[in-house]
Chain A
Amino acid sequence: MGKNPLEQENAKRGAAIFQQSCAYCHGKHADGGPEAPNLIRSLLVRHDKSGDLIGPVIQDGRPDRGMPAIRLPADQAADVVTYLHALLSVSDSAGDSGPSSDYSLKLLLTGNAERGKTFFNRKGGCANCHSPQGDLAHVAQKYPPISLQARFLYPEGTPPLATITLPSGEVIKGTLVHLDAFSVSVTGQDGWYRSWPISQVKLKLEDPLEKHHQLITQYSNAELHDVFAYLETLQ
């Protein structure tokens, strides 16, 4: 993801001018009002190049459609144009790369922390590996809420441990690097990479995430929000 185009200085200035001079009719988000069109979907805005189409509409209005002339100074009109183009570009890619890291806790916090604690200790079996005083102490401070919600459901980045038994009987332990239908490779305890044809070795895997993997297919929606509410109490 590149820089958010709405953060450009001239787009920010344009946003302020828009709120003052345009939002009353076109909406705070430029997505239209009862009397004025949605500008994110407007063909005129989409076809505009550096204000060649938007500029005259701002300056002269559209008397035939009831839009008055706004008559902004040229530099302010240019800032509004920059803002509108930034808004289109953000709207066209919004949500494509997952929720933003500043996603509102208030929206996420719909569960019941007490019920979540009970699930943690009983049905979920979370307490078998985790402790609110130990590894989870202050966990709610460590991660933004949206990341905490994703991480408890499926923490990433912990590779399985592999135990490889060679035809000679030699046993090698390491962290799994790659496994497919034809080969397995590990980083051994000595730090060296090694690989074998899968048909020639015996392989045992211990996946520390196995319980998470099972739970994610079993949670009800209420349960997962309860657990999240409970984890958010671990400030």
Chain B
Amino acid sequence: MRLLLLLLLTAGNLCAQGLDPQKLLRAPVDTWPTYNGDYTGRRYSTLDMINRSNVHGLTLAWAFQTHSVSVKATPLEVNGILYFTVPDHVWAVDAATGRQVWHFSRTSHGDHLGSRGVGMYRDRLFFGTPDAHVICLDARNGKQLWDKVIADVTVGYYISGAPVVIGNQVIIGTSGDSADVPHYLLSLDPADGKINWRWDAVPKPGEPGSETWPDGDSMSHGGGSIWGAPTYDPEFNLIYLGTGNPHPTLAGGVRKGDDLFTCSIVALHADTGKLAWYFQPSPHDTHDWDAIETPVLVDGTFRGTRRKMLLQASRNGYFFVLDRQTGKDLLTAPFVKTDWASHIDESGRPVPSPDKEPQPDGVLVQANMDGATNWMAPSFDPQTRLFYVNTQTAASLWYLLLNEDHKPDGHQGGTLSDFWSSSQLKALDYETGKTVWQRDLGKGHSFSGVLTTAGHLLFSGDTSGNLFALDPANGNLLWHVYAGGTLSSSPMTYQIDGRQYLITPVDSVVYAWTLPPAQ
């Protein structure tokens, strides 16, 4: 009996050191317990120790050198420890000192394009690998607890997205676009990786959505990668997910139709993975413009009516406001100048112009493959009521590649010549989609995300490697530093022992910034 009691006490202690699942239901304060900080995807922190009046004094707290590739993850911070990834590697780092707690590594085949981070359930961490495994680690020491293969790496599947823990489910999807395969989202049991449910981004013949494909063969190679992390509304118990583009990526002729549920925002019942509703930002995409950008959940007034909304600045250049209970479109508005759509239909979808689809002689489009924005996180600041997003304008020539039998040549059936691009950080009014202010980020593009805080601050970076803090109300510059590389992910923040830290992954180095200690 005494032994049992001791065991129970020990188990209790372990839980106390792990992540309290209730933390996931609130805006991040002393923790950053999930990819976007909380389930809303707003990337807004209520911390204000670093604020508009003192941010000019922000200074380096520490730097962690991964000796690795670019860190594209957003670190989690739980109980004073940061957890982050690059493909095949996970680090636990002391969030106050930058010293390594442990490092997990493995080797794998597969695509090593990027890894967006870990998910956490109590004292367990979960991450996806280049060979499409989901691995569970003991957060205390990095020891592997289980390893589950969720897809076949030999046909190009891998995992880039960060797992998101919802209740006692680990939600993770498949990535990959090199071999024209259909993609899916899974709910795994944190105890052993057993699959609770699976949602397929592309239907099978006869299922709803199959009428938007020519045949079973096109569906079975239809794409719809799950590159990103979903958001979640506990009230409706709905998971919100953006899906990837259809395959073959640039050759639309073999998949005539809307190609559901690719390039879509979908709401799934969290307990079953069943589809509640969908909205398709890019019907029949032929430009690689997925709709995986964060579906940001915002409550507020929309043209005089209280609404529970979902906001997305999509890679195709359009900003969408949806009613997140029904999926009904409230607003569709371009946030960059673009020329691929002929008009907006009655349901709010931009309709692609057939003459902007890739052709053998090259078609000029005022955008490139990276699109008007990409996987990097946007932010919504409830103090300014503005939506912030790193945007890109570009021009490129798109070629359709067919073989002598007029079938797509290679996995994407096309290619492009990229000319120039430039980036702007934009603050959007969600009721109109209009730009309230913008800041030039320079030539080219970056994958720098945005963070806003209650300290009346916005953090991000430009294409020349400058990190900066702006006043989110008007874009005025408040702090900047050249960090020797571009912000390769999205910033996050947390507070430990009375100090607030800002984390900025810059290529292979993770920098922590803080205010000097009070004298």
Interface residue ranges, A against B (CB under 8 Å): 27-29, 31, 41, 43, 46-47, 88, 90-99, 103, 107-110, 146, 149-150, 153-154, 178, 180-182, 213, 216-217, 219, 221, 224-225
C-alpha gap A28/B409 in the complex (Å): 12
Are B417's CB and A94's CB within 8 A?
Answer: no
Interface size class of B (residues with CB under 8 A): 35 or more
State whether B395 touches A216 (Cβ < 8 A). yes
Smallest Cβ distance from A92 to chain B, in angstroms? 4
Bound: A29/B414 CA distance, A? 16
Complex: A93 Cα to B113 Cα, angstroms = 14
Q: Within 8 Å of chain A (Cβ to Cβ): is B143? A: no
| CB-based contact A99/B411 at 8 Å | no
A182 with B466, Cβ < 8 A, contacts A90-B410, A95-B250 known: yes
A150→B407 contact, CB < 8 A: no
**Contacts known (A181-B442, A221-B355); A95 close to B362, Cβ less than 8 A:** no
Complex contacts, A31 vs chain B, CB 8 Å = 403, 405, 407
Cβ–Cβ contact A182 & B405, under 8 A: no
Measured in the bound complex, the distance between the Cα atoms of B47 and A96 in whole Å is 43
Contact B405 A149 (CB under 8 A): no
How near does chain A come to B107, taking the closest CB pair, in angstroms? 17
Query: Which chain B residues have a beta carbon within 8 Å of chain A's beta carbons?
Result: 152, 154-156, 178-180, 221, 250, 355, 360-364, 366, 395, 397, 399, 401, 403-405, 407, 409-420, 439-440, 442, 462-464, 466, 477, 480, 482
Inter-chain CA distance A85–B156, complex, in Å, is: 14
Task: List 8 additional contacts besides A95-B411, A99-B416; criterion CB under 8 Å.
Answer: A29-B405, A94-B412, A95-B412, A95-B413, A99-B417, A150-B419, A153-B397, A225-B361
Q: Contacts of A225 on B, CB cut-off 8 Å?
A: 361-362
A107, B379: Cα distance in complex, Å: 44
The chain A residue with its CB closest to the CB of B418 is A98
- Knowing A29-B403, A95-B401, A154-B419, say if A47 contacts B154 (CB, 8 Å): yes
Q: Are A219 and B179 in contact (CB under 8 A)?
A: no
CA distance A46 to B418 in the complex (A): 32
Q: Are A92 and B482 in contact (CB under 8 A)?
A: no
Q: When the two chains form their complex, are residues B179 and A92 in contact, meaning their CB atoms are under 8 A apart?
A: yes
Q: Report B18 CB to chain A, min CB distance, Å.
A: 39
Complex alpha-carbon distance, A88 and B411, angstroms: 9
Q: Smallest CB–CB gap between B424 and chain A, Å?
A: 12
- Least distance between B271 CB and chain A CB atoms (Å): 32
Q: Which residues of chain B come closer than 8 Å to A47, judged between CB atoms?
A: 154
A83 to chain B, nearest CB (A): 16
A-B contact pairs, 27 of them (CB 8 A): A28-B404, A29-B409, A31-B407, A46-B155, A91-B179, A91-B411, A92-B178, A94-B401, A94-B409, A94-B415, A95-B411, A95-B414, A98-B417, A98-B418, A99-B417, A108-B361, A109-B361, A146-B417, A150-B417, A180-B463, A180-B464, A213-B420, A216-B395, A216-B420, A217-B366, A221-B355, A225-B361
Minimum-distance CB pairs A-B, first 9? A94-B410, A95-B415, A180-B464, A154-B419, A46-B154, A92-B178, A107-B360, A110-B361, A150-B417
Q: Verify A108–B362 contact, CB threshold 8 A.
A: yes
- Residues of chain B lying within 8 A (CB to CB) of residue A98: 415-418
Give every chain B residue within 8 A of A219 (Cβ-Cβ). 364
Please tell me if the beta carbons of A181 and B419 are within 8 angstroms of each other in the complex. Answer: no
A154–B395 Cα distance when bound, in Å, is 10
- Contact between B397 and A150, CB atoms less than 8 A apart: yes
Partner of B466, one of A27, A180, A213, A224: A180
- Shortest Cβ distance from A216 into B: residue: B395
Instruction: Choose among B361, B404, B413, B462 the residue that contacts A180 (Cβ–Cβ < 8 A).
Output: B462
Could you say which residues of chain B place their CB within 8 Å of the CB of A150? Answer: 397, 417, 419
CB distance from B306 to the nearest CB of A (A): 39
Q: How many angstroms between the C-alpha atoms of A45 and B415 in the bound complex?
A: 26
Beta-carbon contact of B178 and A181 below 8 Å:
no
Inter-chain contact B152/A43, CB cutoff 8 Å: yes
Task: Specify which of B399, B411, B420 is in contact with A92 (CB 8 Å cutoff).
Answer: B411
A184 to B443, CA, bound (A): 14
- CA gap between A80 and B482 in the complex, in Å: 54
When chains A and B are docked, how far (Å) is the Cα of A109 from the Cα of B361? 7
CA distance A73 to B225 in the complex (A): 42
A182, B401: Cα distance in complex, Å = 43
Q: Are B482 and A182 in contact (CB under 8 A)?
A: yes
Write the nearest CB–CB distance from B251 to chain A, whole angstroms.
Answer: 10
Closest A-chain residue to B394, C-beta based?
A216
Give the CA-CA distance A27 to B408 in the complex, in Å.
Answer: 14
Choose from A99, A153, A216 the contact partner of B399 (Cβ within 8 Å): A99
The distance in angstroms between the C-alpha atoms of A138 and B289, with both chains bound, is 39
Note all chain A residues with C-beta closer than 8 A to B397.
149-150, 153
With a cutoff of 8 Å between Cβ atoms, the chain B residues found around residue A217 in the complex are 366, 395
Residues of A within 8 A of B466 (CB): 180-182
Q: Determine the distance from Cα of A217 to Cα of B364 in the docked complex, in whole angstroms.
A: 9
Are B420 and A154 closer than 8 Å at their CB atoms? Answer: yes
